[in-house]
Structure 1
Amino acid sequence: MAKRSDTPAEETQPERKRGSGAQHVYEVLRRDILNLTLPPGSLIDEVQLSERLNMSRTPIREALVRLASEGLVSTLPNRSTVVSNIDFLNLHTFFDALTLMYRVTTRLAAENHTEADMAKIRACQAAFSHAVDTQDAQEMISTNRDFHAAIAEAGRNPYFTGLFCRLLDEGRRLLRLYYLSFDDRLPHRYVVEHDEMIAAIEARDVALCDRLGRTHADQIVAQIQQMIARDRRHDIPL
């Protein structure tokens, strides 16, 4: 008769590298938070998550610490963990930084890009265009982020790249709301705007890149502001 094993379920799975469990939890939760699968204010149940991912609560807590450092989750006085709310009161500061990064990174890409950079930017644009054609909102958000990150990398300033990628990641929840304002049917003109940015970068037209970056940011900001301010009241007879 085989000896019964007291090994926890997660340890019977293929051996993970040290720290990979926490990384997996981090990636799963981060994706769910940024895609609004876990809406702002949602309670994160460690027991339920442990069962879902088939692992102990230790890597889950490690992942939550990392997510907290990024401002995506918050710990309440009763030690419960919830998805952080979106700070609508300070959105103007986020929009200021985002607009500046669209302009700066596109300008620098025009000055410093290589053919390899352009190939990567075009590949990201092809993925974004396909996501728009198929109206896959989550894929649109992901490929849009990759497109602008590739432009930032072509600018050859790692500080700007790091800041812009952080803003793009933090803004994914806002961008999810942005796409919802179109009922997840993003107009094809945004693919055209990306194509115009690529052409301006390739032509090394710094001034045009600046204008396109500003225009691209402005329409995103205006659409989000319009959605936030939308009057959703119903006229209910009393």
Structure 2
Amino acid sequence: MRNETEPRRVKGTGVRFAYETLRDEILALQLQPGAVLDETSLAERFSMSRSPIREALIRLAGDDLVVTLSNRSTVVAPIDVQSFPKFVEALDVAQRMTTRLAAELRTDPDLKVIARRQREFIATVQRGEHLAMSEANKAFHMAIAHAGRNPYLAAFYERLLNQGRRLLHLHFAYLEQGGEGVLSTDGHDEMLAAIRDRDVARADALAHEHTRQFRDNFVRYLSQNHLKDVPLGTLGPAV
């Protein structure tokens, strides 16, 4: 019987609460790659049954944030540094194409949305909130993608942005810790200006430069061994 002093949850909110809490902890690396997510322990933590926990883990698996091993245990998805070059290659293509299309096809309402998303990103940078920064960064780029009027490309791009959010979190941390790069919002401003001017070639070049800066700064982060305490390898066979 439910304790009447406990807050009454609206049906379905338990799943959302567990999903959003675990998602944020994974993206912020509070739950590190490879960490085991036990349904029973999580159910106790969130004071709910295992059923909404299981559904939340299914949603996280759809986001590529958790994986189920052959022994049926669920763990936080590893960050596979070896696949980083291929990830950046795909990101570069998607980012350049969506930005080019936006410069060609954008409308005035699109520009207003992109500009608003940029202001929101700047606000998170000023507050230094890494999780909010990565979410606002994604929202900015997705506003550009939607302005390009290609839902298939936008969906592919969004998946890449989601997969890269933990890398972006480390990228932000590196820059704020005095890395060789600089945490700047100028790149977004320049992309917005190129899209506003319908300058397709410049939009393409800026999108490519944006990806290159992310790649180079992240490689510097790795070379300085800042990730020595973060397990990054691919999953081995389950035991």
Does the TM-score normalized on the shorter chain lie above 0.5? yes
Task: Give the count of matched residue pairs.
Answer: 225
Tell me which residue corresponds to 1:178.
171
Q: Tell me which structure has the larger Cα radius of gyration.
A: 1
Report percent identity of matched pairs. 43
**Aligned residue among 79, 84, 93 for 1:86:** 79
| TM-score using structure 1 length | 0.86
- Structure 2: unaligned runs, 5 residues or longer: 227-239
Tell me which residue corresponds to 2:213.
219
- Structure 1: unaligned runs, 5 residues or longer: 1-5, 233-238
Contact 1:10 1:54 in 2 (8 A): no
Whether 1:195 and 2:176 are equivalent positions in the alignment is no
Listed one character per residue, the Cα deviations across residues 158-190 of structure 1 (whole Å, up to 9, x for unaligned) are 011111111111100000111121236797763
Tell me which residue corresponds to 1:55.
48
Listed one character per residue, the Cα deviations across residues 168-225 of structure 1 (whole Å, up to 9, x for unaligned) are 1110000011112123679776311111111100000000000000001101011111
| TM-score using structure 2 length | 0.85
CA RMSD of aligned residues (A): 2.3
Tell me which residue corresponds to 1:236.
none
Q: For 1:22 and 1:231, locate their aligned partners in 2 and report how far apart those are by CA, in whole Å.
A: 37
Once the 2 structures are TM-superposed, how far is the Cα of residue 231 of structure 1 from its aligned partner?
4.6
Q: For 2:9 and 2:65, locate their aligned partners in 1 and report how far apart those are by CA, in whole Å.
A: 29
Give the SS at the match of 1:182.
helix
Give the SS at the match of 1:82.
strand
Q: For 1:142 and 1:94, locate their aligned partners in 2 and report how far apart those are by CA, in whole Å.
A: 19
Once the 2 structures are TM-superposed, how far is the Cα of residue 89 of structure 1 from its aligned partner?
1.4
Q: How do 1:156-167 and structure 2 match up within 5 A? A: 156-167=149-160
Contact 1:118 1:202 in 2 (8 A): yes
Once the 2 structures are TM-superposed, how far is the Cα of residue 74 of structure 1 from its aligned partner?
2.2
Give the SS at the match of 1:181.
helix
**Aligned residue among 35, 38, 43 for 2:36:** 43
